[in-house]
Structure 1
Amino acid sequence: MDFFETINKRYSVRGFKDKKVEKEKLNQILEAGRRAPTGVNYQPIKIFVIDTEKNKELLKEIYPQPWFFEAPLVICVAASHKEAWTRPWDGKNIAEIDASIVMDHMILAATALGLGTCYIAAFKPYAALKLFDYDETLEPILFTPLGYPNAEPSERNNVRKNLTDLVIYK
């Protein structure tokens, strides 16, 4: 699939088939995340691959929408603010930016492989911390279910502002 076709095809999937994700495809997705750029290439992230069958009760605590744990897998990208690059002139730590880039790479890779995803930032962080065995150096940044789509895009997925509303040329 062409890159721009992948971008146009991606949508927030809120329904999944009862079909496992092949190990080869999962590894390609994880490799896309590993290859993602991060500030000064510090790679201050951890990627958690969560089996929904084994962790359904915890996933319900994290984000209680049924389609979230309907997918066979859920991926979480967590970041360490201690390990991330910080801009020296204003102290801006970019751990969350790095984690977002990693997740975006994986979501686009999943789309290119025919899999569905949905960015989840509206989760309960206190529940998500249980995934890390309460490792205080990690912060959960984003989740996505991962599986074969069983839902069409909503109309909201196709609504985008015009470039003239977003772009400012100087």
Structure 2
Amino acid sequence: MEFYEVLKTRRSIRSYKSDPVPEEALRRIAEAAQCAPSACNRQPWKLVAVRNAALRKKICEVYRNPFLAQAPVILLALGNASMAWQRPGDDHSIVEIDLGIMFEHAVLAATAEGLATCWICAFERAKMDAAAGIQAPWTVLAVSPLGYAAAEPTPYQRKPSAETFEIID
């Protein structure tokens, strides 16, 4: 799929088929995620593809929306704040920014593979870490189902570019 088509095709999907995700697709998604830039190239992330049914069930007990359980794979985006760069004079790492870039690479790669995703952050991190068996200094910052969409997505609405983009000469 051509790059701009990928951008226009990607949607947050909330209904999945149970069809398995090919391992080759998972590997290409991982490679795309590894291409993501990060501050000072620290790469303070891990991308985990969970196919194990028992672990997926535990994750779905933390985020109870049924569409997550429908997908044959759950992606976990792990961040490590102690590895991430900090802006001088600021006591907060930019792990969320670095991880966001990496996870978007993964989501776009999934779209190019004909797969669907839905970026999820609406969970209690401590509970998700415990369910997924993630130990500090790592933490789950984002989750996504990964699989084939059960239905065609509806067209999306975006603000006009005049509201979101400006050129200053």
TM-score, structure 1 length as denominator? Answer: 0.91
2:119 counterpart residue number: 119
1:39 counterpart residue number: 39
Q: Which runs of 5+ in 1 are unaligned?
A: none
Q: Give percent identity, aligned residues only.
A: 33
Instruction: Work out the number of aligned pairs and report it.
Output: 168
State the 1:132 CA deviation. 5.4
2:149 counterpart residue number: 149
Q: RMSD in angstroms over aligned alpha carbons?
A: 1.6
1:72–1:147 contact (8 Å) kept in structure 2? yes
Q: 1:44 to 1:100 in 2, by over 3 A?
A: same
2:44–2:80 contact (8 Å) kept in structure 1? yes
Instruction: Name the CA distance, whole Å, in 2 between partners of 1:29 and 1:134.
Output: 21
Instruction: Name the CA distance, whole Å, in 1 between partners of 2:132 and 2:40.
Output: 25
Instruction: Name the CA distance, whole Å, in 2 between partners of 1:58 and 1:76.
Output: 13
Output one character per residue of 1:118-156: Cα deviation in whole Å (capped at 9) or x when no partner.
11111232221125535121121111100011123245x
- Secondary structure in 2 aligned to 1:33? helix
Instruction: Name the CA distance, whole Å, in 2 between partners of 1:139 and 1:88.
Output: 23
TM-score, structure 2 length as denominator? Answer: 0.92
1:76–1:142 contact (8 Å) kept in structure 2? yes
Q: Give the residue type in structure 2 aligned to 1:167.
A: F
Q: Give the residue type in structure 2 aligned to 1:141.
A: L
1:165 counterpart residue number: 163
Instruction: Name the CA distance, whole Å, in 2 between partners of 1:131 and 1:33.
Output: 24
